A and B are shown apart, each in its own frame.
Chain A
Amino acid sequence: MISQVRTDREGFRASAIDLDSDGYRLMDMFTEEPFGDAGAVSALFRRGDDVVRLWYPTDGRGVTLSRDIPCASPFERRMAEMSGITFDMGTDPIVYRRRGDGHPLQKTPYDRSTEVRIPLKPNSTVGDDVFEIPVGPVHAGIIEPGHFRFSVAGEPVIELNPSLGYTHRGIEKLMEVPAGRDMSRLVERISGDTCVANCIAYAEIMESDTRIPRRARIIRVLMAEMERLYNHIGAVTGICTDTAFNVPSAMGSGIQERVFRMNMSLTRHRQLMNCVVPGGVRRDIPDSRLRELDDFLIRLKFDLMDLTDRMMDSPALQDRLEGTGVLTNAKAVGIGAVGPIARASGVRSDVRRELDYECYGDLGLNLCSDDRGDVNARTMVRIGEIYESINLVHQCAEMLEPGETRVRAVPSDGFHCSVVEAPRGELVHSAVVRDGRVWRYSVRDPSFVNWFGMCHAVPGNVVPDFPLINKSFGLSYAGNDL
């Protein structure tokens, strides 16, 4: 349920603080351009299934919220950089590594020819024996680009600052097209490992006024859970790889490959792309494939038990994981962490249980959580969710009944918002449609907030544990940078 509250500049701060103290969590903030008559700043809050959009019209000046609600800070930085809104408290750039005249999300063109390079900010920790280690953007493994600066004195890290934005491709601007046009091919590629979740969020916005066939909803959930499966299996495998626990690591990558092959057999794409579209799904899953899926899941469960038993039986592995990279509950709440990261720090929240989107309301789902907040807790939460996902895929396959899989869907004018549990956590898409055109499309990837969790979890740990902590957070660069 979405309620919209309009305030003015003066009332915004007080209303936001009220919501925050009532247990509402800030999900996303975005602007509508051009500033002046039609300009606005919106903040989305959520508590359970209650979503509130708090907004005020603006002439280009914003109201600083981050002094009272710290997790507003990254949103304010992004709005200042991308839309050119000004805050009385200065903001650092967050996406662009260069800056030209104008701002990319403004309706007037952004002048790239005048770009100058923004120097990276040095860390604030200085001293005789403090060294700064710069890493990236090109890393040693096959991973996405990002730049990190550690300040170290001896082994332990004192300060860590990530600089992201290297994979910024201007997706929010590309989404501004006539509302009837299907942009799901682009939405899938916001983050190649979160195709289904992103696409469901996009489709739900486009379908706000349409009833979607039940079979399509079930197929979508089935695919979303297959996506969570391969992501979580990949993350758990990564933990084994980064601790040089080689046999389970090889087992894990084999299991992940088999999930990819099952995806291929179900949807003809290993990462489940080209399937979810506004109005339903593009391809039906034939019954013969579903029988194959059943056998596959049974075998998958046995193989996973083999893998996870090995992990839990190894004191050497547990020694590396326990107590490493702790994100305390207070910090997780403070930064507004979401998904498995938050659940491993004792925040018992899962969009699938709270919002009942698609057909999750009809499925039995246990919430996996842990209070310790360390690498081990995050790994255990993921392992728990892997088994839950297998269970959900089973339930979906049993619920499938013959029927339609696609109808036509075009959104009406106004504000639309959808919240989805992606493998990495709560994913928020919101759109403002004006005169049959997507006027502004905002995507808030779970990684966008969780990156700040990692900055709090790493200090105090030794440098060689950074890759392990990074892997346990398993954050997306592409989804964060858009």
Chain B
Amino acid sequence: MFATSLSNLVGRGRNTVPADDIMDGRGTMPMSSERCTGCGSCAENCPTAAISISDDGWSVDLGRCIFCMDCAMVCPADAIAEVPAPDYALSRDDLVVRRETDVASIEGVLDERTRRMFSESLAIRELDTGSCNACEIELNCMSNQFYDAHRFGIKVVASPRHADALVVTGPMAENMREAAVRTDEATPSPKLIVANGTCAISGGVFVGGDVAPSGISDVLEPHIYIIGCPPSPDRVIRSLAKALGMRH
């Protein structure tokens, strides 16, 4: 019986994503080309005001972008293409990308002391501050047999007291503020704060309205910003592994 069970898990081939593939795969993002006339229809139609056009040229804020590609659909000059996107950044400012930005350079590595502490094993605690649940689905997928985050030493723990990193999702809804502060206090230092997804970075589609959440950064100070709405499980693993210099 055990033999058949095991074959169901691993024997049907192609199930587990090789670690090398996780390290190579990339998401995409919108980027304007030479054809851009600066008419501004993309910026007008962007649901999260991620695109801005100024004298400096066209730029997209990956901390606001939800990667819906509505901009490419409305562009009269067909000037917006999907190009490879970075997975994460270590500072909020790095997420504003222009045509001349070298995307690969956005993904930095954390300082050596942090890397030494966490690169072999990282216990993460997820903190939902009002996310729509898509990020939770993806973070749960991180431990299924396709991605198997355990092989990088990444594991999910039940209490903030056992955690090295808080992976924070959601735009910091008003009602979650106090719980977020107290979860942060319960997590022993040294710790990493990871802003997971567009909402956590900037508030995403929920900016405005009667609650006006604007991302987690006025309550917690993120060390890693993972882009995506929601970030796919491979992207989360890749971001943590690259920022911490994990071996694979």
- A160 to chain B minimum Cβ distance, whole angstroms, is 20
Which of B54-62, B91-99, B113-121, B138-146 lies on the face that meets chain A?
A: B138-146
**DSSP class of A's interface residues: helix, strand, loop or mixed?**
loop
Chain A, Cβ-Cβ closest to B212:
A170
Chain A contacts for B141, CB-based, 8 A: 253, 256-257, 260
Asked whether B213 lies within 8 Å of A169 as measured between CB atoms, the reply is yes
User: Within B179-202, which residues are at the interface with A (CB < 8 Å)?
Assistant: 179, 183
Asked whether B133 lies within 8 Å of A138 as measured between CB atoms, the reply is no
Tell me the bound Cα distance from A174 to B229 in angstroms.
19
Asked whether A270 lies within 8 Å of B211 as measured between CB atoms, the reply is no
Chain B contacts for A98, CB-based, 8 A: 174-175
Asked if A116 is an interface residue, CB under 8 A from chain B, the answer is no
Select one of B130, B145, B159, B212 contacting A253, CB under 8 A. B145
Encode A254-278 as 1/0 by CB contact (under 8 A) with B: 1011001000000000110110000
Select one of B126, B132, B208, B212 contacting A190, CB under 8 A. B132
Asked whether B131 lies within 8 Å of A247 as measured between CB atoms, the reply is no
Asked if B106 is an interface residue, CB under 8 A from chain A, the answer is no
Tell me the bound Cα distance from A171 to B209 in angstroms.
7
Select one of B48, B132, B140, B210 contacting A192, CB under 8 A. B132
Q: Given contacts A143-B136, A169-B213, A185-B66, are A137 and B179 in contact (CB under 8 A)? A: yes
Chain B, Cβ-Cβ closest to A117:
B178
Asked whether B175 lies within 8 Å of A173 as measured between CB atoms, the reply is no
Tell me the bound Cα distance from A287 to B157 in angstroms.
44
Asked if A399 is an interface residue, CB under 8 A from chain B, the answer is no
Tell me the bound Cα distance from A110 to B140 in angstroms.
37
Asked if A476 is an interface residue, CB under 8 A from chain B, the answer is yes
- B16 to chain A minimum Cβ distance, whole angstroms, is 10
User: Within B209-242, which residues are at the interface with A (CB < 8 Å)?
Assistant: 209-213, 229-230, 232
Chain A contacts for B70, CB-based, 8 A: 185, 274
**A166, A169, A250: most-surrounded residue (chain B CB, <10 A):** A169
Asked if A142 is an interface residue, CB under 8 A from chain B, the answer is yes
Task: Give me the 8 closest cross-chain CB pairs, A-B, nearest first.
Answer: A192-B134, A170-B209, A192-B132, A140-B158, A170-B211, A104-B210, A174-B209, A185-B47
Q: What would be 28 A-B contacts, judged by CB atoms less than 8 Å apart?
A: A96-B175, A97-B175, A98-B175, A104-B210, A110-B210, A112-B174, A137-B179, A141-B158, A142-B136, A166-B176, A167-B131, A168-B130, A168-B175, A169-B209, A170-B206, A170-B209, A174-B206, A174-B208, A191-B133, A193-B134, A193-B137, A195-B134, A247-B8, A250-B144, A253-B144, A254-B9, A274-B66, A481-B175
- Additional pairs, 11, CB under 8 Å, beyond known A167-B128, A189-B204, A193-B134: A168-B174, A169-B209, A170-B212, A189-B134, A254-B15, A254-B146, A260-B141, A273-B134, A274-B69, A282-B73, A481-B173
